Structure 1
Amino acid sequence: MIRRLARTGAVLATASLLLTACSGTSDDTKPKTAPSRHPVFDQKLDRQMFLAVRETQKAGSASFTQTLTLETKKGKAVQTLEGRLDFAKNTGDANIRWKVPKKFSDAAKDAILGRAPGRANADAAGRFLVDGRNITYRAGSSDYWLRYGYGDYDHSQKTLDQLRGTEAPVGGTLLEGLGGAEAKSRQGANYQAEVDSEPLWEMLPGEISEQLTSEMYTPGVARTKKVALTVSLDRQGRVTRVRADLSRMLGKKGSLFSDATSLTMELVLHEHGRSKPAGGTDGGKVLDAAGTVRSIHDVKAGHCIDFSTGQRDVELVVDVPCAKPHDGRVFAQATYGGHAYPGRSAAKSQASRACNRSYGRVSDDWTADSADENSYWYMWSGEYDWQQDGKGRTTCYVVTAKGAA
């Protein structure tokens, strides 16, 4: 009995030692979990703007509103750009509209809105859709869309190119260039930063940039100054607000905006990851720009035209059916060859005589819907076009009240 109890006691003692040993080993070797680092806030300050843009893109989508405000002694000109960004699919949509004070000079309005000869200014509002292949544009005065492929427009005009972004599907927002900005200070999720003026200069609409001082940025010259930014992020490090003060770009001698007191741009992003997909054409008719947008000099006499092409080139028009609402109607074309460019005054006089002769001869059907009775307009080749074409051209047209058909 004693021998059996001893064996039992020995076995129990051994088991107890084993349990004690296992328990001690587990406590001493258990790995400790390192605190996770924030993808933006815990990184180096000079990289945080770049990383914030990347976190914004990782959200997959966002809605945005951006305002560009030019404040002058005659009032404020404000451009509002708002829409949706789908980073995952590289698509986006936006509505654009301008409010321009009536007190602005005609030349200042032309610089902001662009010209449509005979209708004063181009549309102050429009809508566009952007994807990897096309930019689809609808003017505020049109009931159809124009679809531009990459090779369907003049890239030197940069107007449509501005609509295609590099950091976001829709261009022209303060996301462009933000990845290259440098944060100077941070308080919580709010930053003071600086960015080269070049990307902001390039995204300014219309001829506004031509009215700004070249001391900030000269295209093609490696000399650029900084623009101050204020930036706000959310808890995830995604961009929610960016404000740029571009007032240092003002002050160009002889500028149309010589009385301007400030120029600012502000972007607000929201609904990160929850924004609705980019919209479509809502059933509206879509025209291929390659087949309908052309120089007014290439429109046949008797055809009807719209002036709003989405590009800031006064000679470009949309060739549309006369049975539909239209902006004007071409009633004559004239060509001059065999001699060099005669100078602006002589070329204009030549065009005026040609259109005056034609106006009295054409069918009343081609001029009856003119908005101003017994009046017409004409365009003629400038020196560059005359030399490029080897000839001069004149186009005569009447301007109709929108809705005429």
Structure 2
Amino acid sequence: MGKLWRVVLVLALLIGAAACGRGDTDAPRAKPAPAGPHALFKAPLSTQFAAARAATEETGSSHFTSTLTYGSSKGDIVEQTEGDQDYTAMTASADRAFTMPKAHPAELLKALGESARDSRQSMVITGEGVLFRTSTGRWLNYSSTQSQEFAKDAGEMLGRAGEAAPYTSPLNDLVSRVSPETAPKVLPDGTRRYTEEGGVNALIDVLPPGLGTVVEAVGPPTVPVTVDIDAQGHFRRIEADLGPLLGALKETAPGLYGGIRTLRAEYTLTGFGTSAPAGAPASGAIDQAHQVLVPARSVKPGLCGGVDTGLGLPRLVRPVPCTGKHDIRVFAQLNLDKEVAAKDADPMRVAGEECERAYDRAPRGWTGEATEQGYYSWLGHNESTGSSASGGTSVRGEFTCYVVTS
């Protein structure tokens, strides 16, 4: 699941009208008059979001902050990305941070598509793809010109290059598709605050891929969205209350999401016209991702991989010797084509059961080095289901079973 958001904070412009007296230096000066509201607020209500997007892009650049917060009594889980973007060149640089308190179960980490409870990432978005800074200081270049198969595996990273803005934000993308229907409230500083309903389908990418699929299937059709446009006509803040989606998540795994009470997404923008993204690193510090990474499904059982790739799930890994530092060890590759009695069976659940059997058969030397004993993970590739002739479910797909080792 690629699977964010920013606010606009602009100082009010003052237009000075100085009084001049003939040779009278002591003549009183008129106080600057505040600028009037942007012309877009006089336009038809339904066009105001589109006009604000145009006005925001006309500034040339902005600083953005995108935050997704899972509120919980066990401690909030927070994903936040902050950076700068150039609307003209369609380039950006960003730093992403994810934190999940230890009180939350390890299974939730996987469900959220993350590989560590505390992680930091740096990225540069260019016109040709996305560069990710690894822990060694070198960069991986995810080029948008590679094969469709590679792009599918690298979709989470390539998806960070946005269409509505240089750095993608599902909230920004949502607003570009919504026409306001309710007149905004005018705040003291001239900001207009709109309260609308946003379609959940447009917000799916806010959530990790697995959660987005669940919500799309059984979640509510809309959620409350608040949009602030400042007096100069720029997007300042976009916030979505995703709380209504929690019910769908808790239905699928009540024990996993039971402690999460609130779910909010926010996108804010500041620094209009003064923000400058970091440039691309020197070519000598760049590795081409398609040359040094391989699909996890191609790693033979018993072999190891590094996952310092910027991807939440190890769909692409760097092959490394098991005698050195490694992050995962594959213990089985499954190619399923079977029928199960259950109707509408979940292919990932069926694969999990098969991985459990493979885990029990695998050499202890492979599975024993897992950071959490007894735990294993699996990935699906091209999985699909269909109704079987007997009334059950036909499950197909390739699945990689592995243990996390660091």
Query: What's the CA shift for 1:173?
Result: 4.9
What is the SS of the residue equivalent to 2:232?
coil
1:4 aligns to what?
Answer: none
1:126 aligns to what?
Answer: 121
Closer, same or farther: CA 305–382 of 1 in aligned 2, 3 Å: closer
Closer, same or farther: CA 282–100 of 1 in aligned 2, 3 Å: farther
* 2:174 counterpart of 1:172: no
- After TM superposition, the structure 1 = structure 2 runs for residues 365-376 of structure 1, keeping only pairs within 5 Å, are none
Closer, same or farther: CA 320–84 of 1 in aligned 2, 3 Å: farther
Give deviations 1:108-144, integer Å, cap 9, x for gaps: 12222434xxxxx4872212221221111234x4432
**Match of residue 241, structure 1, among 233, 237, 243:** 237
1:137 aligns to what?
Answer: 132
Closer, same or farther: CA 236–283 of 1 in aligned 2, 3 Å: same
2:143 aligns to what?
Answer: 149
* 2:66 counterpart of 1:72: no
2 CA distance for matches of 1:347 and 1:205?
Answer: 22
**Range 164-173 or range 296-305, more displaced:** 296-305
1:220 aligns to what?
Answer: none
Two-structure CA RMSD over aligned residues (Å): 4.3
What is the SS of the residue equivalent to 2:40?
coil
Closer, same or farther: CA 347–107 of 1 in aligned 2, 3 Å: closer
- After TM superposition, the structure 1 = structure 2 runs for residues 143-222 of structure 1, keeping only pairs within 5 Å, are 143-150=137-144, 151=146, 153-155=150-152, 158-183=155-180, 184-186=182-184, 187=186, 188-194=190-196, 195-210=198-213, 212=215, 214-216=217-219
Calculate the TM-score normalised by the size of structure 1.
0.67
What is the SS of the residue equivalent to 1:41?
helix
Identity %: 23
1:327 aligns to what?
Answer: 326
2 CA distance for matches of 1:393 and 1:69?
Answer: 30
1 CA distance for matches of 2:153 and 2:139?
Answer: 22
Query: What's the CA shift for 1:326?
Result: 3.7
> RCO greater where, 1 or 2, for CA within 8 Å and sep 6 or more?
2
2 CA distance for matches of 1:394 and 1:81?
Answer: 30
Show structure 1 runs of 5+ residues with no match.
1-35, 116-120, 218-223, 360-366
Give deviations 1:340-361, integer Å, cap 9, x for gaps: 87996777656765645x87xx
Contact 2:380 2:397 (C-alpha < 8 Å) held by counterparts? no
Contact 1:86 1:92 (C-alpha < 8 Å) held by counterparts? yes
Give deviations 1:18-69, integer Å, cap 9, x for gaps: xxxxxxxxxxxxxxxxxx9944122112211111011111111111112111
Please say which structure displays the higher CA radius of gyration.
1
What is the SS of the residue equivalent to 1:251?
helix
Contact 2:90 2:127 (C-alpha < 8 Å) held by counterparts? yes
Give deviations 1:75-108, integer Å, cap 9, x for gaps: 2111111001111001111111111121111111
Contact 2:49 2:175 (C-alpha < 8 Å) held by counterparts? yes
1:250 aligns to what?
Answer: 246
Query: What's the CA shift for 1:295?
Result: 2.8
2 CA distance for matches of 1:96 and 1:78?
Answer: 10
Contact 1:148 1:290 (C-alpha < 8 Å) held by counterparts? yes
Q: How many residues align?
A: 335
Closer, same or farther: CA 127–347 of 1 in aligned 2, 3 Å: closer
Matched residue type, 2:237: R
2 CA distance for matches of 1:123 and 1:246?
Answer: 23
2 CA distance for matches of 1:347 and 1:322?
Answer: 21
Show structure 2 runs of 5+ residues with no match.
1-35, 340-349, 385-394
Matched residue type, 2:227: T
2 CA distance for matches of 1:287 and 1:156?
Answer: 17
Contact 1:79 1:99 (C-alpha < 8 Å) held by counterparts? yes
Contact 2:66 2:82 (C-alpha < 8 Å) held by counterparts? yes
Query: What's the CA shift for 1:299?
Result: 4.9
Calculate the TM-score normalised by the size of structure 2.
0.67
1 CA distance for matches of 2:290 and 2:124?
Answer: 17
2 CA distance for matches of 1:170 and 1:205?
Answer: 17
Contact 1:172 1:204 (C-alpha < 8 Å) held by counterparts? no
Closer, same or farther: CA 76–130 of 1 in aligned 2, 3 Å: same
1:51 aligns to what?
Answer: 51
Contact 1:82 1:94 (C-alpha < 8 Å) held by counterparts? yes
